[in-house]
Amino acid sequence: MSKLHDIISEQIMNELNASSISIKSKFSSICIYCRGGKNLCGKAVCPITLKAVSMVKVSKPISSNYVSGSSPPSVFVGRYGYPKVAVGPMVPPVSGDTVIMDLPEQWIGTPLEQIIDYRYSLLRGKVNTKVTEVRTGNRFLDTLHELAMSSRPVDSEVEFTKKPIGTIYLDDHSQPFGPSAPIKSFRLQSTRAEQSIEKLYYDTDMLAQEAILELYRSGIEVSRIQRAFSVGMFGLKRNRRLVPTRWSITAVDSVISSDIINKIKGYETIDKFLLYKHSYMNNVFAALLLPEKWSYEWIEAWFPGTFWNQNFSEVDFGGDYESYGGRKTYPSIGGCYFSARLATAEALSSMCRQATALVLREIHPEFPLPLGVWFVRENVRRLFQQKPSVYEDLEQAFKGMSESLTVPLIKWIQKSEILKNRVFQRRLSDYFEDKN
C-alpha cells in the first residue's frame, strides 16, 4: 500500500490536501513513475487525479465517525471472505433527492467527473455477516432489507467504529468506490416500500429467478433488482442468501437475458444485415445482426495504454460466444458478456425478430478508467437505439464495419467465431444456390 503522495505530484498534493488517502495496487503501475504529471499513460486526464479530487470532495465533510444523509437507496455486499462477507448500507453525507447517485440507467450523457463523484460520495458501512444469515434474520439485515426495497431516498444515520477511509485501487477492476469503515450503529427514518419488491420479499414460496423476472416485466430498473437480490430478498426461505454485489449484477443480467432469448427464438429471423454504431467516452460500440437463428458473441478490443492492456504494444482482445443452444460455462470475459447480451436481447425482442448477433467494443487509450458493468449494458442499449445501416449481403456489411471501427476487419474476423464460421465454412444452402 502507498500513500497518495507516492502517486500524485507535490503540486497536486498541495492543492488536494489529501495525504491520508491510500493507494492499493496489484501490479507495478506506471502511475508510480508518472505521479500525475508526465502523462506516461497517454490519457488526456490522469485517472488517479480524477479519483483523488473526487475522493477529497467527499472526505472533507467527514469530520467524525458519525454520518447522516439520504441513501439513494443503496446497499453493498462484498465478496472477500465468502461465505462470510462485509455487507452494509451506502450513505452520502448529503440529504435530499440522491436517487441519481445509484441509478446507472440514467448516467449515459453524464460527465465522467460527475459519475466518479456519485461513486465516491456513497460511504460504505460494513458488518461481517454469514451469507445464510438472511434466512433467520437479525435487526441489522431487516433494516437493510427495508432500505433496499424503498421506492425513494431514505434519510439514514450511520455511526462507524472509526472515521471512513478512502482507498484508490490500481487494477483492472478499479471502479470508484467511496470511503468505508465498519458500522457501530445504523438507523433509518421513515421509508416507503416499492410494493412490487415488498410483495416478493414476503413471498417465500417463489423461486428467486421467477421474482427477478416478475420485477423486470413490471418495469423495475435492472439495477434496483440487482440491489434487492444481492441482500437475499428473493427466493425460497430455506435458500435465501446474501449475494456479493458483483455476482448479483451478473446473475440478474443472465437470468433476464436468458428469458428474453427463449422468447425471441420463436420469432422469424431478420431478413437483412443490420449494422449499428455508437461512440461514447472514447469507446466505440458496434453490433452486426445477421439474418440467421439466434447466436451471440461479445468481443472487446483493448488498445495499448488501457487498464486492460498496459504492457503490450498491440491491441489485445477478449470475448466469448454462444450458439443457438446457449453456453454452460462462465464466460472468460466476465460480467460484461451478460450485460451486453441483455441489451441485445431487449433490442431483438422489441423488433419481434431473432438474429445472430455480433457485438463489439473498442476501448481506446484515452478512456481513463473502468466504470463498471453498467457502462456496457447502458451503452449497448443506447447502441441499439441508433438507426442501423442496412445491407443486402455480408460483403456490404463488412465494408460498413471497416468504415465504423478502428481495428482492421481482418482482426475481428480472426477473433470472432461468428465471422469465421460465416467466412470460412460453406453452408448446405450455398451448394443449392450453386446448382441453380
Amino acid at 223: S
Cα distance between the two ends of the chain = 70
Q: Which residues pair with 108 in a beta bridge?
A: none
Q: H or E stretch including 276?
A: strand 273-280
Give the per-residue pLDDT at 436. Answer: 46
Of 329, 210, 327, 316, the closest CA to residue 259 belongs to 210
Amino acid at 275: L
- Per-residue pLDDT tens over the stretch 297-311: 999 999 987 877 776
Cell numbers at residue 14, please?
Answer: 498541495
Q: What is the pTM of this model?
A: 0.89
- Per-residue pLDDT tens over the stretch 133-185: 999 989 999 999 999 999 999 999 999 999 887 776 654 445 567 888 999 99
Please report, for residues 102, 162, 243, 395, the alpha-carbon distance to residue 227 in angstroms, rounded to integers and kept in the order given. Answer: 10, 26, 10, 44
CA 205, 209, 210, 211 dihedral sign is: positive
C-alpha 390/C-alpha 392 separation (Å) is 7
C-alpha 71/C-alpha 102 separation (Å) is 9
Of 357, 371, 367, 409, the closest CA to residue 118 belongs to 371
Give the per-residue pLDDT at 24. Answer: 59
Q: Which residues of the chain have pLDDT under 70?
A: 1-44, 59-61, 168-176, 311-312, 426-436
Please report, for residues 243, 337, 349, 357, the alpha-carbon distance to residue 212 in angstroms, rounded to integers and kept in the order given. Answer: 14, 19, 18, 25
Cell numbers at residue 26, please?
Answer: 496489484
Using the 8-state DSSP alphabet, how is residue 236 labeled? -
Give the per-residue pLDDT at 125. Answer: 94
Burial code (b: 16+ CB inside 10 Å, e: under 16) for 157-172 equals ebbbeeebebbbbbee
C-alpha 137/C-alpha 70 separation (Å) is 24
Of 251, 199, 213, 257, the closest CA to residue 230 belongs to 251
Q: Cell numbers 478508467 label which residue? A: 369
Give the per-residue pLDDT at 11. Answer: 52
Rounded (5°) CA angle 417-418-421? 80
Give the per-residue pLDDT at 1. Answer: 47
